[in-house]
Structures are given as C-alpha cells and as structure tokens.
Amino acid sequence: MDKNRLFIWAAIVIAGVILTLPTLYYGFPSYNHDGWVHALWYSNFANQLWAGELYPRWLLELNRGLGSPALFFYQPAPYYATSLFKPLFLDDPHGLRQLGVSASLAFIASGWFAYLWLCRIVPRSPALIASIVYLVMPYHLAIDLYLRGAFAEVWAFAWLPLILFFAQRLRSGERFSIVGLAVSYALLILSHLPTALIFSPVPILYMIVQVDRGNRIRAAAGAVAALALGVGLAAIYLLPALTLREFVSMQEMSKPEIYFENWFVMTSFFARGLPAYLSWLVISMVCAAGCAYFAAGEKSNEIVRRERAFWAAVAVGAVAMMTPLSKPVWKLLPILQNVQFPYRFNTILCVASAALIAFAMASAKQTMSLRPAALRLVIALPVTLWVLIYPLSVWREYKTHPVTRANQRELIENNQDAPEYKPRWAERDAFYRLMFELGQAKQFDKVSVIEGSADVRVERWAPRSIVLHVNGATGATLRVKQLYFPGWRARVEGGGDLEARPATPAGLLDVVTPKGDQQVKIELTPGRAERWGQYVSAISLLIALALIIQGLVIRKAKAQCSRAELREKCPDTV
C-alpha cells in the first residue's frame, strides 16, 4: 500500500475512533432509547452463539427465563459481528463494552466504504473529506449512535456506500461486482430491514442514471438481479421475519407515541424534544447539501453533471418523505409504514449529501471563482458545528444522565423484552403480572403440574430443546415456563407426539403427558418459513459461488490468451 493510501485509511480510523471514543470508554450508551434492549438481545444472542447454537432465534433467558422470539424478527448481522469481541471482554455481562467497540468498528467501516465509493467519482482528497463528513453527520453520529442507540441502523450506514461502490463496479462491467452488490445488499437486510426497504430503489436508479439511454434497461436488469440475489442470501432471516409477524404483538408498533404520522419533521422548531431537534438537523443538512450542489459548478463532464443532479434529486426526495407533504404516499403504500419513523429517510439524505460534498470539494481545483468558494465556506459552517457541538454534547450526555442510566440498567437486569415481540397468546395484563411475580420470587419451578399427578425432573433446559423425566401416577398436564410459540412440539421418547398448546391468559406452554415413567422431549422445531429460508439462502449461496468461479475461469482464460499473444508476437521476451 502506498503512503497516500495508508494515510487515508489511517485518517478514517482515527476519525472513527475519536468520534466514538465515549462508546469505547464508557460502553454503548444504555441511557438512550434503544441501548438497553440491544444489550438484552446481544448478551443473550452471544451467550447462545458461543454455546454452539449457530443462529440463535429463541432467546432462552429473556423475560425472566420465559424466552423470547425476538431474533426471529430482528436482524442478526450486527450481533454476529459484535460476538467476535466476546472473548476479549469476560467481565462484561450485559455486553455494553462489546457493543461500544462494535459501534466504533461500524463507524470506521462506514468511512472506509464511503471512501471506496467516492474515490471512484472524485479524486482521493475530496473523497477522504466527504467520507469523514459522512461520519460526523448529526443523524449518523449524534442521533443514531448517542441519542437513540440505534445499533442496527449504525451498522446499516456501513453497507449503504458499499452497495453504491459495487453498483459503480457493475456499471463498469467489472468482475465479481454482481456478487459484491448482492452480498452488500444482503448485509444491509441482515442489519436493518427498514433502511433496506427505503434504500432499495436508489442503487437501481443509480445504475440507470449512469449509463446511456440504450443501455438503461440492461443496467436496471443487472441491478435488480443482483439485489434479488441479495434477498435470496438473506432469506434465512427474511422469510421467518416476514411470515411470522402475526404470532407476536406487532400492534404495539401502532401506539400513538410511535405511530408514523406523529414523527414527520418540519412540524415543530421551538418545542422541546426529538421532533424539533430533527427538524433543525434536516435544515442544516439541506443547507450543506444545497450549497454543495451549487458549489460544484457546471465545469464538469456530462456523466458528473448527471450524477450530481441525481444525488440532488435523491436528497430532495428524502427530505420530502420526512415531511407531512408525503403523508398521502405513506397512506397509499402501507409497506412504508413498517419503516415506522419517517425521519429514517435521513440515512438516504446523509448518503446523497456525502456525494454532493465530494463533488463540491473536487471542483475546488477546477475553479477558484468567488461564488463557489463562498458556497464551500457556507458548507463548512454546519460541518464545523457538527464536529464541535455534537461530540461535546455527547460527553455531557454520558455524565448528566446517571438516573436515566440507572433506570435503563434496571431494565437490563429485569431481562424483559420489548413489548412488540411478546407472543400474541400472552395477554398484556396477565403477562406483566406474571413477570412481576417471577421478579419477586427468588426461585421458581421451571415446570409445574397443573392437572393430574406426576413427578417431574428437568434433565435438559437449553434453547429450543427441553428434556423432562416424567413419572405420572395419572395422565398430567405440565406447565412449562416458556412462552408458547408456533413450532413447539412434544413427544415421548420411543413413543408418539404429545399435545403442546398455549395456556391462557399468560401464554405459557402446556404439555399433556400420559400415565407412566417416561422421558418427554419438548423442542421448538423449525417451521416451514425457517426451512424454506435456509433452502433459498443455500441455493443463493451456490449461485454466488458459481458466479465467482465463472469469473475466475474467465480471468484465467484471458490471462492465458494474453500470454499466448505475447509469446507469438515477442517470443524472445517470454
């Protein structure tokens, strides 16, 4: 690696470490909106992963040991990445320090991948400046990381520029680009599904804009094929997540305080709270992006002008989708409501702004006239504010929220899952009453006999697998302290299936056993969605490997052809 490139990579690493230093020093912020629930999900996920479960979906110890299906629905990729750090942090039971290191790694990766993409459209120095600005953008740094604790969305920021990097390579016809685009899109789906949903049209349109009219259908088809392959690679997560939603309490996502209509920006500027904060944030982003667009000037080739106009249009579209003007679109397309918060279109605004700022910085060498120079100075003002104000306020947030941190850590200690992933058989009041009773009890039986007479001994208690020794004087109904979820099956060793059903109103698992001395196996078996997800991902992986092998064969054939031509023309030099 040459010195210039080494300096660039080092500069991005240093910037990422400085911006995320609080998470490295204190750990991932647990005082904010989602920090505590990520600590819960991650710590349980990592424990089961390191115990040998390849894809933990049913989190056994959540909800005071009643279990939770949260990872049937939530994206696993950020937790897999974070689990690599678990052996390095033995004294970190809630995983907050591991999550902090992982968030820092996500920021560094965001900068690297942004640079890889931007240096294909502008020279190195402007690409470096824009990639670092991408890190300090307030929605990326202050909102997602420190205020909301949106751990999965922080990781999504890393994959967005990587997708665009491979889209650029695919446009140029470079080998393996279709596989790279598919893998990076799959990583986005596996990291944050709402961002994947709203970002999906961007790489397709990006491909169309960059090519001549005669090749646009072919470019769009290539992009769609790559994204479809990415969907296939992510099907192991995606199919269960989309098809099992009816079995949990997703109606909790429609409560007024989190309903999408209440989270448009530009509706309040002087009230206290996140909506006003987001409105001023969007204004600062629009100011920077608008000035960058006009500062780039017109002294550029047609492809650059076309791409600059494209990113300006994307920025305008992203801002519009965050304002009440877009309410008819949200109503017309109910799938958008799964995004939950319109302000999530800030992710697209950040990407578009990074591209426009890169073009503005690149134009500095082309023209030194007064107007573009003044506009670049205006761009520097909000960027300077982002750099100075937000990191300083972040340090203060860590220090001035001891009460909030204590409350959130209490939530972690209670081990209670987010309400939307409560199985629908558990009625709200009865479930929380049971949770309170379990919290008051120092210990409780994992299995109790509610009908009949039987002695029960637990022989195995593992995620998705429970083994009981039951000696019944009569037939008995056992209440197993696990929440019911489709897929729970019970059978007698060497015998037939037993009835497994939900117990109302708390939603626990009841198993009906016959008379006699027997071993009862209770398993949460993979359903149709899980199995088909595995099959589709396996087939998609084979297709990706076949494309890679084909590319290697073609490259080898071309290399041999080149050597043969050289041998024929210049035999003395071979």
Do 63 and 210 sit in the same domain of this protein? Answer: yes
Do 394 and 464 sit in the same domain of this protein? Answer: no
Do 452 and 406 sit in the same domain of this protein? Answer: no
Asked if 280 and 310 count as a contact pair (C-beta separation under 8 A), the reply is no
Give the domain range for residue 44: 3-410
Q: Tell me the one-letter amino acid at 15.
A: A
Residue 492: both structure tokens together: 């007698």
Domain end point (choices 525, 543, 559): 525
Say how far apart CA 444 and CA 481 lie, in whole Å: 9
Do 109 and 248 sit in the same domain of this protein? Answer: yes
| pLDDT value at residue 574 | 42
DSSP-derived secondary structure letter, 479: E
The pTM (predicted TM-score) of the whole model is: 0.92
- CATH code, domain carrying 492: 2.60.40
Do 286 and 380 sit in the same domain of this protein? Answer: yes
Sheet holding 516-524, edge to edge: 447-451, 476-483, 508-513, 497-503, 488-492, 516-524, 465-472, 454-462
Asked if 324 and 95 count as a contact pair (C-beta separation under 8 A), the reply is no
Let me know if residue 569 belongs to a domain: no
Number of structural domains the chain divides into = 2
Do 400 and 459 sit in the same domain of this protein? Answer: no
| pLDDT value at residue 77 | 96
Let me know if residue 436 belongs to a domain: no
Domain end point (choices 391, 410, 429): 410
Say how far apart CA 39 and CA 31 lie, in whole Å: 11
Let me know if residue 266 belongs to a domain: yes
Asked if 468 and 457 count as a contact pair (C-beta separation under 8 A), the reply is yes
> Rounded to a whole number, what is the distance in angstroms from the first to the last CA of the chain?
28
Domain end point (choices 390, 410, 430): 410
Let me know if residue 563 belongs to a domain: no
H runs (alpha helix) in 234-365: 235-243, 274-295, 302-321, 327-332, 346-362
For the chain, 574 residues long, give each residue's pLDDT as a single digit of tens: 466 888 999 999 999 999 998 889 888 887 777 888 899 999 999 999 999 999 999 999 999 999 999 999 999 999 999 999 999 998 888 889 999 999 999 999 999 999 999 999 899 999 999 999 999 998 999 888 888 889 999 999 999 999 999 998 888 777 789 999 999 999 999 999 999 999 999 999 998 887 777 778 888 888 999 999 999 999 999 999 999 999 998 887 777 777 788 888 887 777 677 778 888 888 888 888 888 888 776 556 677 788 889 999 999 999 999 999 999 999 899 888 888 889 999 999 999 999 999 988 887 665 556 566 666 666 677 777 777 766 666 766 666 566 556 566 666 777 888 888 999 999 988 998 888 888 877 778 899 999 999 999 999 999 999 999 999 888 899 999 999 999 999 999 877 899 999 998 999 999 999 998 999 999 999 999 999 999 999 999 999 999 999 888 887 787 777 666 656 666 554 4
| pLDDT value at residue 440 | 79
Let me know if residue 170 belongs to a domain: yes
Do 165 and 238 sit in the same domain of this protein? Answer: yes
3-state secondary structure of 465: strand
Do 67 and 132 sit in the same domain of this protein? Answer: yes
Let me know if residue 424 belongs to a domain: no
Do 455 and 400 sit in the same domain of this protein? Answer: no
Do 110 and 240 sit in the same domain of this protein? Answer: yes
Let me know if residue 574 belongs to a domain: no
Do 473 and 405 sit in the same domain of this protein? Answer: no
Do 381 and 469 sit in the same domain of this protein? Answer: no
Let me know if residue 428 belongs to a domain: no
